[in-house]
Amino acid sequence: MKDAVREACALLRAGEIVAMPTETVYGLGADAFNPDAVAKVFAAKERPSFDPLIVHIASRGDLKQVAVVPAELAETVDKLTSAFWPGPLTLILPKHPDVPDLVTSGLATVAVRQSAHPVFRAINKELGRPIAAPSANRFGRISPTAASAVMKELGGRIPLVVDAGACSEGVESTIISIEPREGKKPVFRLHRAGPVTKEQLQAFGKVEKVKEAAGGLPHAPGQLPSHYAPVTPLVLLEKPSDFRPIEGRSYALLSYRGEDDGPYVNLHDWEVVEALSPGSGKLAEAAIRLFHVMRVLDESGVDEIIAEPVSETGLGVAIMDRLRRAAAKS
């Protein structure tokens, strides 16, 4: 893996882009301070320039390179980064002037985190510069949690994929901004649910979900209503009685547990059934398997994917967020 790290850094220094693993999903990285390299990320993904990128730093001490932390946020930022970095928490903060506007889509803020994946961290440290890295897939499509998925999405478009196996979290990082309150705990605006849950954040402040403006431009990565979507239409079936199959149309089920006696499994003679957490119903396992299962069903040849909901507690909030955005395309 040391050779792969060196090769990745050589390409990044030369202004190229590289796919590499994080603990959440595989990212498509570029030197965050090189706008020409960042432009290649947008081009390879076919990502619109109004959708900002997350900047990854090698250590907490590097935060000052990409963000200007106001005095009123310093204590809270220190507590959050001490608790959750390295890890899947992204903070939205005022951006440092050195960060190109292309990275932040012209916003005055930057989304920043420190990855916990040892390979990504090694590349970040060896490079010695922040890395701008959205998910390594075509825009709006299913995020990749394995190198093989990156190749299916971007093969032939990028010079290198660093393969370090499957990602350990399976859904993208939690994204928050911070609103200080004098004499009270701060308010965390939840822009995207992820592996760091509302319950974990509540130890440090009050959590409020951001209401997205219909048709408005995003103020954080991953905010577009239709996102993380397979090519095959996906429908999130909130309750079994809502299912109205069309004759001659083939269906697959994205099940939570996949139990033979479950209300969704027994609802129809499915062409394919894939379970997020076979038999056990564990949200952590479901999150890890979510994008893999979506990709398997997308490639199964059915006309439509029916998704069973999961409980919206803990990691279930992030899973349901991804399912709703995937269904929004249909």
pLDDT digit string (tens) for 135-158? Answer: 999 999 999 999 999 999 999 999
Distance CA 83, CA 195 (A): 13
Q: Which residues does residue 259 pair with via DSSP β-bridges, in sequence order?
A: none
Residue range 277-306, pLDDT digits in tens: 998 889 999 999 999 999 999 999 999 999
Contact 36, 188 (CB under 8 A): no
pLDDT band with cut points at 50, 70 and 90 for residue 1: confident
Residue 324 has pLDDT above 60, yes or no: yes
Residue 223 has pLDDT above 80, yes or no: no
CATH architecture group of domain 234-328: 3-Layer(aba) Sandwich (3.40)
- Rounded to the nearest integer, the mean pLDDT of the chain is 94
pLDDT band with cut points at 50, 70 and 90 for residue 213: low
Residue range 232-281, pLDDT digits in tens: 999 999 999 999 999 999 999 999 999 888 899 999 999 999 999 998 88
Residue 225 has pLDDT above 80, yes or no: no
Residue range 2-8: mean pLDDT, rounded: 96
pLDDT band with cut points at 50, 70 and 90 for residue 219: confident
CB hemisphere CA count around 60 (13 angstroms)? 13
Residue range 17-33: mean pLDDT, rounded: 98
Query: Which pLDDT value is given to residue 36?
Result: 97
Residue 211 has pLDDT above 80, yes or no: no
Residue range 184-209: mean pLDDT, rounded: 96
Residue range 56-64: mean pLDDT, rounded: 97
CB hemisphere CA count around 140 (13 angstroms)? 12
Q: Which of 181-195, 207-221, 273-287, 290-304 has the lowest mean pLDDT?
A: 207-221
Residue range 95-123, pLDDT digits in tens: 999 999 999 999 999 999 999 999 999 99
Give every CB contact of residue 43 below 8 A, 6+ residues apart in sequence.
none
Contact 24, 88 (CB under 8 A): yes
Answer yes or no: pTM beyond 0.85.
yes
Q: Which residues does residue 20 pair with via DSSP β-bridges, in sequence order?
A: 27
Residue 192 has pLDDT above 80, yes or no: yes
Residue 329 has pLDDT above 80, yes or no: no
**Identity of the amino acid at 182:** E
Secondary element (H or E) of residue 112: strand 109-113
Task: Match domain 2-209 to its CATH number in 3.90.870.10, 3.40.190.290, 1.10.3720.10, 3.40.50.300.
Answer: 3.90.870.10
Residue 226 has pLDDT above 90, yes or no: no
Residue, of 249 and 221, whose pLDDT is higher: 249
Residue 33 has pLDDT above 60, yes or no: yes
Give every CB contact of residue 227 below 8 A, 6+ residues apart in sequence.
140, 322, 325, 326, 328
Q: What is the residue extent of each domain of the chain?
A: 2-209, 234-328
Query: Which pLDDT value is given to residue 214?
Result: 55
What secondary structure letter does DSSP report for 27?
A: E
